A = this chain, B = another copy of it.
Amino acid sequence: MTDFSEYSSHTDLALDARDMAQAANHGQTIPGIETDSTRENGIRVTKINVLNEQGSKALGKMQGHYITIEVPALRQKDSQLQDRVATKFAQEFEEFLRTIGIRKNAKVLVIGLGNANVTPDALGPLVVENIMVTRHYFELYPNDVTPGYRAVSAVAPGVLGTTGIESSDIVQGIVEKSNPDLIIAIDALASRSMERVNTTIQIADTGIHPGSGIGNKRKGLTKETLGVPVVAIGVPTVVYASTIVNNAFDMMHKHFSEQTSNTGQILGLLDNMHEEERLQLVKEVLNPVGHDLLVTPKEIDEFIEDIANIIASGLNAALHDAVSADNVAAYTH
């Protein structure tokens, strides 16, 4: 499938990449990819392992482990559902760390990427605000820390435009001074579909790569650059306006191709148009406001706060044995 956006040559979600690859493969399984999906109580959990070079190529995603948690009803402000999602997230995250070989008392640094003053980009900083931070107790009173906790620190490094320094440089400096065993990096993503916005959480052990996420990042946060494993947690919070238009074109194409009458011609025209002209059309439509028009639902303030609480609660429960999935909400506000 052709991508009509000039802004983003990829999708940030492995799940979308898998779906597209599978569609392109006429629904057949893709070699080098393992997937597993369960659905319960309105929460769908899909695990995708990109096993080798072949799978990586097919998906356009790095080798590694991916978990996607989809909750279509998450935007309906149902606080009981939110609690269930936080609990599910905590369980999956804990298991994920085990799977990728992180030991129970590994020291964790949580990094909240993004700009705290731009609501749809504020997910990372908001999560960091609600992380239960304990590293300083381990440093100052190593013998007095209650069992059931591990050393956790948390930083929101800001964005290039407001600090003047690459966030990856800031993180690297902090890592060198504070010596964590694992980085957990939270970032807001751009999605290909409106319905994913604030309803989907992705966990991956592949780190953060240049060009992913909303902001402009020139360097990534990876095991290669930081020397310790980097688990990325991402949530789509914006879509490109061009994505909405593309979706409409695709719908229209599908619509006509389902009609039996003499629409062969129009389909042909549309198909011919795809490559050269559709891009041009999308540009014309969106031209007045410039290149990088990312849009977000009007209710973004509330959505972001809800999902940040879910992730922070879930991480607190997953990282500290003493915080159970039941009392998880008590630690956030």
Contacts and interface: CB of A to CB of B under 8 A. Distances in A.
A293 interface: yes
Give the secondary structure class of A's interface: helix
Interface string A78-120: 0110010000000000000000000000000000000001111
B289 A194 contact: yes
A330 to B, nearest CB: 4
A163 interface: yes
Contacts of A166: 136
Interface stretch (A30-38, A54-62, A170-178, A312-320): A170-178
A161 interface: yes
Nearest to A138: B164
Contacts of A75: 289
A83 B327 CA distance: 12
**In this complex, which of A173, A193, A277 has the most chain B Cβ atoms within 10 angstroms of its Cβ?**
A173
Interface in A255-269: 255-256, 262-263, 265-266, 269
B194 A288 contact: yes
Interface in A224-279: 238, 241, 244-245, 247-249, 251-252, 255-256, 262-263, 265-266, 269, 277
Contacts of A129: 117, 162
A26 interface: no
A236 B153 CA distance: 29
Interface string A281-311: 1101110110001111111111001000100
A288 B272 CA distance: 29
Contacts of A120: 298
**In this complex, which of A121, A166, A265, A298 has the most chain B Cβ atoms within 10 angstroms of its Cβ?**
A298
Contact of A248 (B121, B153, B249): B249
A6 interface: no
Nearest to A156: B158
Contacts of A156: 158
Nearest to A238: B298
Contacts of A136: 160-161, 164-166
Nearest to A243: B244
Nearest to A173: B173
B294 A294 contact: no
A197 B294 CA distance: 13
B286 A117 contact: no
Contacts of A247: 285
Contacts of A330: 79-80, 83
Interface in A28-60: none
A317 to B, nearest CB: 14
- Kindly list the 3 A-B residue pairs having the minimum CB-CB distance in the complex, ordered from nearest: A173-B173, A135-B164, A153-B164
20 contacts: A79-B330, A83-B330, A118-B299, A119-B119, A133-B163, A135-B164, A136-B164, A154-B164, A155-B165, A165-B177, A170-B174, A172-B177, A173-B173, A194-B241, A194-B286, A255-B277, A255-B281, A266-B269, A295-B298, A296-B296
